[in-house]
Homo-oligomer: A and B are copies of this chain.
Amino acid sequence: MAEKEVRNKQLVLRDYVTGFPKESELYVTSNGTIKLKLEGDSKRVLVKNLFLAADPHLRPLMKKADNLSVLQSFTPGLPLYGYGVAKVVDSRHPDFEEGDFVWGITGWEEYTIISSFEHLFKIQHSDVPLSYYAGILGMPGLTAYSGFFEVCDPKKGEHVFVSAAAGGVGQLVGQYAKLMGCYVVGSAGSKEKVDMLKDKFGFDEAFNYKEEHDLEAALKRYFPQGIDIYFDLVGGKMLDAALVNMRVHGRIGVCGVISQLTLKEPEALKNAMCLVYKRVRMQGFNVVDYYHIYPKFLDLLLPQIREGKISCLEDIVEGLENGPHALIRVFSGHAIGKQVVSVANE
C-alpha cells in the first residue's frame, strides 16, 4: 500500500555564512527521499519544483539572524527556501489540485510539501512561459509594480531614478516608469548592463556607478532639476547621493539594500536632513504587503507582456547543482536579468 519513495535532491546551507557567501557554503545532497502521496488530513500541498528564483533577498537569510532582520534565516543542514514555480503532485487543500501550476515560496529541492499558503498563488495563465512566474509575473514583478505604483506614487512626466536597474526588479521599474510617461535613468555595475538598460529596456539614460567617483555629481548631471522618484535597491552611498538630489516632495521607495550586505558595518547616511528640507517621503516596503493587488497587477501586465510592450531578460541555468553558482552570481552582481534555476521539466 505504501507509496513508492523517490529521491529528493536538495540544496542545503552548510553553516551560517559570515562575510561574502561562497559557493562552497552550499551543497547539493541526494540522500533524502519523499513519498509522492500526502498522508493525513492537514492542509498541505505536495509540489514538484520547476523553477527557483535566485533572488537577492536570499543573501541575508544565509547569515545568522541579527536584531535588525525580521526575516527568518535558513537553517544549516536544511534546504534553502524562496520563491519558485512548481506543479502540484498531490493536494490536501481545496484550492489546489493535482496538475495545477503554482508560484510562491517553496524549497530549493525537487519536491516540497507546502503547509503555509500565504505565499502561494495558483497560476491561471500558462500561455506565457512558466518561468515568468519566478520573475516578471511573480515576486520581482509584483515588487516592482507595488513599489513603483503604490509606494512611489508616480505622475506623468516625473523624473525617476532606479539603482540596480539591470536586476530582476529594476528592469521592470524602468519599464513601468516609461509606460507612465516618466523620464527614467538607471544605474548598474557594467557597460553591458548599462547598454542593455538603454537598448533593450528603453531607459532614457543609464550609467555605470563603478565609474563614478562622485555619485552626487553623477546624479546632478542626469537630474539637473532633481529627482522626483528614487526606487532604491541598493542603499548606502547611492541613497545618500540621491537624498541630496531629491526634488521637493520627492518619494523614495526603499526596496533593498544590496550594496550593504557585503559590509561589516553599513554605510551611514549623512544626508537624512534632506528629508525635512525637501519634504521627501522615504518608505521601506515588502511585496508581502501587496499580495492582495496581484490580480490587478496581472490585469495590467499580461496584455503588456503578450504585446511585447514589457519585456524581461531571463538567465535560466539548468539543474539544482548549478544553484550555488547562480546564487553567487546574483549576490556578486554578475547576473544579467532575472537569474532562475530550472530544477525539472513539467
Known: A68-B273, A70-B248, A244-B67. A282 touches B279 (CB 8 A): no
Tell me the smallest distance from the CB of A162 to a CB of chain B, in Å: 16
Task: Say whether A279 contacts B289, CB under 8 Å.
Answer: yes
For the complex, what is the distance from the CA of A51 to the CA of B216, rounded to whole Å? 42
The one of B67, B254, B266, B282 that contacts A270, using a Cβ cutoff of 8 Å: B266
Is there a chain B Cβ closer than 8 Å to A281's Cβ?
A: yes
Q: Mark A50-73, 1 if CB is under 8 A from B, else 0.
A: 000000000000000001111100
Known: A269-B272, A272-B269, A282-B283. A277 touches B69 (CB 8 A): yes
Is there a chain B Cβ closer than 8 Å to A275's Cβ?
A: yes
Is there a chain B Cβ closer than 8 Å to A86's Cβ?
A: no
Name the B residues within 8 Å of A68 (CB-CB): 244, 271, 273-274, 277
Is there a chain B Cβ closer than 8 Å to A324's Cβ?
A: no
Name the B residues within 8 Å of A268 (CB-CB): 268-270, 272
For the complex, what is the distance from the CA of A273 to the CA of B260, rounded to whole Å? 9
Task: Say whether A71 contacts B284, CB under 8 Å.
Answer: no
Give the number of chain A interface residues (Cβ < 8 Å): 37
Task: Say whether A285 contacts B276, CB under 8 Å.
Answer: yes
Task: Say whether A239 contacts B272, CB under 8 Å.
Answer: yes
Task: Say whether A275 contacts B266, CB under 8 Å.
Answer: no
Is there a chain B Cβ closer than 8 Å to A280's Cβ?
A: yes
Name the B residues within 8 Å of A239 (CB-CB): 272
Is there a chain B Cβ closer than 8 Å to A323's Cβ?
A: no
Name the B residues within 8 Å of A265 (CB-CB): 270
Q: Which residues of A (64-85) have their CB < 8 Å from a CB of B?
A: 67-71
For the complex, what is the distance from the CA of A282 to the CA of B244, rounded to whole Å? 16
Q: Which residues of A (186-206) have their CB < 8 Å from a CB of B?
A: none
Q: Which residues of A (134-179) have their CB < 8 Å from a CB of B?
A: none
Q: Which residues of A (275-306) have their CB < 8 Å from a CB of B?
A: 275-286, 289
The one of B256, B272, B276, B285 that contacts A272, using a Cβ cutoff of 8 Å: B272
Tell me the smallest distance from the CB of A313 to a CB of chain B, in Å: 25
Is there a chain B Cβ closer than 8 Å to A219's Cβ?
A: no
For the complex, what is the distance from the CA of A71 to the CA of B239, rounded to whole Å? 23
For the complex, what is the distance from the CA of A108 to the CA of B70, rounded to whole Å? 51
Is there a chain B Cβ closer than 8 Å to A255's Cβ?
A: yes
Tell me the smallest distance from the CB of A59 to a CB of chain B, in Å: 13
**Sample of 14 A–B contacts (CB below 8 Å):** A67-B244, A235-B272, A235-B273, A239-B272, A254-B272, A254-B275, A260-B273, A266-B271, A268-B268, A274-B284, A275-B282, A276-B284, A276-B285, A279-B286
A-B pairs, 9 with minimum CB distance: A268-B268, A275-B284, A276-B284, A269-B269, A281-B283, A268-B270, A282-B282, A254-B276, A254-B275
Given contacts A266-B270, A279-B284, A281-B282, 10 further A-B contacts (CB under 8 A): A70-B278, A235-B276, A249-B289, A256-B276, A266-B271, A266-B273, A279-B283, A279-B289, A280-B283, A280-B284
Instruction: Give chain A's interface residues, CB within 8 Å of chain B.
Output: 67-71, 235, 239, 244, 248-249, 254-257, 260, 265-266, 268-286, 289
